[in-house]
Each structure stands twice: as structure tokens, then as C-alpha cells.
A and B are shown apart, each in its own frame.
Chain A
Amino acid sequence: DAGVIQSPRHEVTEMGQEVTLRCKPISGHNSLFWYRQTMMRGLELLIYFNNNVPIDDSGMPEDRFSAKMPNASFSTLKIQPSEPRDSAVYFCASSLRPRVEAFFGQGTRLTVV
């Protein structure tokens, strides 16, 4: 298996633009997590899905952020409109179920100017 695949690896966008980050989890994994990492706050859980259903989105910063998982092999995290404070590395991770080890993608480095 190729592991968790994220795209794009790097994204530079202007403030106010819509940004869409994509993730393909490991085949057979039922849980998918979106994390954001910054120097100041470390790794923060934004949202996680179990069997394609959002279970906990309490980490989503505000209404500008939305996430979907239309099927077991694909998820998106959308920011609209983007702001400079959204600049961070966004990781997607998947696991067989919520409390076992999660495997991370390579991350998307987002820069909003």
C-alpha cells in the first residue's frame, strides 16, 4: 500500500481565496483524521471521520473550514475564505479504528499571503 496520500504538497494562495486539500487514506482504514500543525500550537485535531461519518469536528476553527468524506477512499478539507493565520502544515492520517495507531500522510504546507 502506498500509505496515506495527500495533495497538493505545497499550496500558496492569496487571502480570500478558496483552498481545497485532498486526502486518500490507506485502503481498509475506517478512521480518518485531519490535523493542523504550527510552531505555536503543535498538532491540533481538526476533525475525524469514522466509516465516512464526521464524529468530532470540535477542533474546526470556524465556519470557514469544512471537511467532507464522500466515500471510504477520499476526503477533502476546504477553507473558504482563506486567511494568513491559516498558514500551517495540514496532515491527514488514517487508522483501522479511532484509538489505535494512526498513519500520517506527508502533509500539505499551506501559505496564505
Chain B
Amino acid sequence: QKEVEQNSGPLSVPEGAIASLNCTYSDRGSQSFFWYRQYSGKSPELIMFIYSNGDKEDGRFTAQLNKASQYVSLLIRDSQPSDSATYLCVGGTASKLTFGTGTRLQVTL
């Protein structure tokens, strides 16, 4: 079992819709969680982080964390074509960050 699991996609949503990206993790020692966005041929860039159970909102992005279920999600409201990228879920313990393999999101016109 991978430490951080994501559906590889592609997840296709129409422009203006809500995109929902999901992630599960196995290490209960994980204390911090991040979502990175990676455009094709580019390096990953941080878009959200969440440390506590519940929701955290930043503009069109909402990160959700449920430690009991070991589940992390990212919602993107009003999806735009520029949101088309691979989204990487990351779990952090005291010693390292572990990346999921990413979900490819396609926002269609």
C-alpha cells in the first residue's frame, strides 16, 4: 500500500464547475498536508496546506482534512482552463514529506 494514494485520473470537469480531488494516507503520524499543482514540464508549486481537521479556504480553493478517516481533499470552485494540471497530495511527518502520484485535472471549455 502506498503511503499517500490518489486516483491518477484524468478528472475532467467543465469550466465553471467544482473539481473535487481526493487523497488517502496510511501513516497516522502524518501531521501536515499539502496540495501541490504541477503543470506539464514544470516543477510542483504549493497551493494549499492544512494541519487541522476541518476545512480551510483560500480563494477558489478549499482543503479538507479528516484525520479519523485519513482523508484529504481539495475542492476547486469555478474551475478554469488554467487549473488544468496534475495535483499532488502530500503528507508530512516530523521527518519527511511523502508525495502521492498525483491526479490529472482537465477543465474543458
Interface residues of A in 42-78 (CB under 8 A from B): 42-43, 45, 48, 55-56
In contact, A101 and B95 (Cβ under 8 angstroms) = no
From A41, A100, A102, A107, name the one whose CB has the most chain B CB atoms within 10 angstroms.
A102
Distance in Å from the Cβ of B27 to the closest Cβ of chain A? 12
A99 interface neighbour in B32, B42, B99, B101, Cβ under 8 Å: B32
Distance in Å from the Cβ of A71 to the closest Cβ of chain B? 22
In contact, A98 and B43 (Cβ under 8 angstroms) = no
Determine the distance from Cα of A50 to Cα of B41 in the docked complex, in whole angstroms: 28
In contact, B97 and A98 (Cβ under 8 angstroms) = yes
In contact, A42 and B101 (Cβ under 8 angstroms) = yes
- Answer whether residue A25 sits at the interface, using C-beta atoms and an 8 A cutoff: no
A104 interface neighbour in B43, B49, B95, B101, Cβ under 8 Å: B43
Secondary structure of the A contact surface, majority rule: strand
Output the nearest chain B residue to A105 by Cβ-Cβ distance. B43
In contact, B101 and A98 (Cβ under 8 angstroms) = no
Distance in Å from the Cβ of B107 to the closest Cβ of chain A? 22
In contact, B43 and A106 (Cβ under 8 angstroms) = yes
In contact, B46 and A99 (Cβ under 8 angstroms) = no
In contact, B99 and A100 (Cβ under 8 angstroms) = no
In contact, A33 and B45 (Cβ under 8 angstroms) = no
Output the nearest chain A residue to B6 by Cβ-Cβ distance. A42
Given contacts A43-B88, A104-B43, A107-B43, contact A99 B102 (CB under 8 A): no
- Answer whether residue B109 sits at the interface, using C-beta atoms and an 8 A cutoff: no
A56 interface neighbour in B45, B46, B95, Cβ under 8 Å: B95
In contact, B46 and A103 (Cβ under 8 angstroms) = yes
State the A residues within 8 Å of B (CB): 33, 35, 41-43, 45, 48, 55-56, 91, 95, 98-107
